[in-house]
Amino acid sequence: MSPQFVDLNGDGKLDIVAGTFDGSPHVAYATDKGWKQPEQIVDRNGARIMANDFWNFETKKWDSTNLCDPEGVRVESGSQVTSAVAFDWEGDGDLDLLLGDHKNGYVYLRRNEGSATRPAFAVRNEQVQAGSKPMKVPGTVATMRLVDWNRDGLTDLACGSMGDSYGQLEGGGVFVYGNSGTKQLPVFGEPLVLLRPSMKTSKEGPTRPDSGLYMDFGDADGDGDLDLLVGAYSHWSVEGPPLTAQQKVRVKDLKEQLAAVQTESAKLNEALGFIVTGLDEEAAAKKREELLATQKEARLALNKRRLELQEELDPMEGGPKRDSFVWIYENQSPPAPAKPSESR
């Protein structure tokens, strides 16, 4: 999830809008005393906003739907929206929603058919275009931010992409889709590449954000331009240090213990599958929940043990490494000459 501070209901207070991995956008409404706990943003009929794949809170399983597909458009299956930003798409004074697809890289528009103070979102998504094609962010969408990148008075769309967050394949990048339309009709083209997708070649520890790039823009150093803030995983590889005979024995022992933890975890998962065999969905969900409750302590203990073992093993082992950080890219470009906003 990537938070956006924005006044979604037009009451003069900044709410927090965010997509989450469950496949829907959420909002934490602001009050005079602070933020309420988040709730799902729903459409004009009170139905959940999503694309295809979503976590079904009733069945407690992953699910899929075509109910929100754009009218008359055959969507590549499996779109899952995990990011959202509120944006006045057609310049009518109320906030619409842009939804980012974590699986295929598409960006969808959910129009606000209500008002600034009483949002009523459409029941279907519209596909946002880049040029003559649907916008498809390379590496799929991690996050979206709104920025007037070229100072023409129009809001451009910046996207950070996921890339391969777990393995050694290409990582994510940062792209800006320039808006060459008007305030009433945004038109996006090919993106400007701010950060090229990473190839994860570092052997010297973390050197850059590599995958799962969630960025924002701000003047961090007070010099009047926009710096780039990026949260992400860094990937690097290390050669293992030379080990003593005693350390080699310890490495073998740690690996055996890790394998045993893995086996115990697999048994717990197996029990979950076994206990629901032959049950209908409702009964299966209930049983699964009951068993998970009884397994909770065991699962926590196994996870704790796994982390302890891994922490001891890591310094003695070479191979790929991954950790999360927040990075700042200071903008060192010379100041651009002032350019008046166009009135469109």
Partner 1 sequence: MKLVVPMLLASAVTGAAFSNSTAQAQTGPAIPTFAQPARLKAGETFLGGKRLFPSPVFHDIDGDGLQDIVVGDLKGRLTVALRKPGKGPAAYAAETNLMSVDGKEIDFHNW
| Shortest CB 134 distance to partner 1, Å | 24
- How many residues touch partner 1 under the rule CB under 8 A: the total is 89
Q: Tell which positions 249-288 bind partner 1, by CB under 8 A.
A: none
CA torsion angle 244 245 247 252 (round to 10): 140
Residue 333, Cβ density class (10 Å: 0-12 exposed, 13-18 middle, ≥19 buried): exposed
Does residue 148 bind partner 1 (CB under 8 A)? yes
Does residue 177 bind partner 1 (CB under 8 A)? no
Q: Which is nearer to partner 1, 33 or 133 (CB)?
A: 33
Q: Per CB under 8 A, which region of 242-250, 252-260, 270-278, 319-327 contacts partner 1?
A: 319-327
Does residue 204 bind partner 1 (CB under 8 A)? no
Site string for partner 1, 37-66 (x = CB under 8 A): xxxx--------------x-x----x----
Could you say which of 126, 225, 264, 317 contacts partner 1 (CB under 8 A)? 225
CA distances from 32 to 3, 12, 280 (A): 20, 10, 46
Helix H or strand E encompassing 310:
helix 281-313
| Shortest CB 242 distance to partner 1, Å | 28
Does residue 308 bind partner 1 (CB under 8 A)? no
Residue 174, Cβ density class (10 Å: 0-12 exposed, 13-18 middle, ≥19 buried): buried
Q: Tell which positions 67-86 bind partner 1, by CB under 8 A.
A: 85-86
Does residue 292 bind partner 1 (CB under 8 A)? no
| Shortest CB 114 distance to partner 1, Å | 12
Does residue 121 bind partner 1 (CB under 8 A)? no
Q: Are 49 and 25 in contact (CB under 8 A)?
A: yes
Q: Is 33 left (phi over 0), alpha (psi -120 to 50) or beta?
A: alpha
Rounded Cα–Cα distance for residues 79 and 136 (Å): 11
Q: Per CB under 8 A, which region of 64-72, 123-131, 224-232, 281-289 contacts partner 1?
A: 224-232
Does residue 139 bind partner 1 (CB under 8 A)? no
Rounded Cα–Cα distance for residues 254 and 243 (Å): 14
Does residue 203 bind partner 1 (CB under 8 A)? no
* Contacts (Cβ under 8 Å, ≥6 apart) of 120: 43, 44, 112, 113, 114
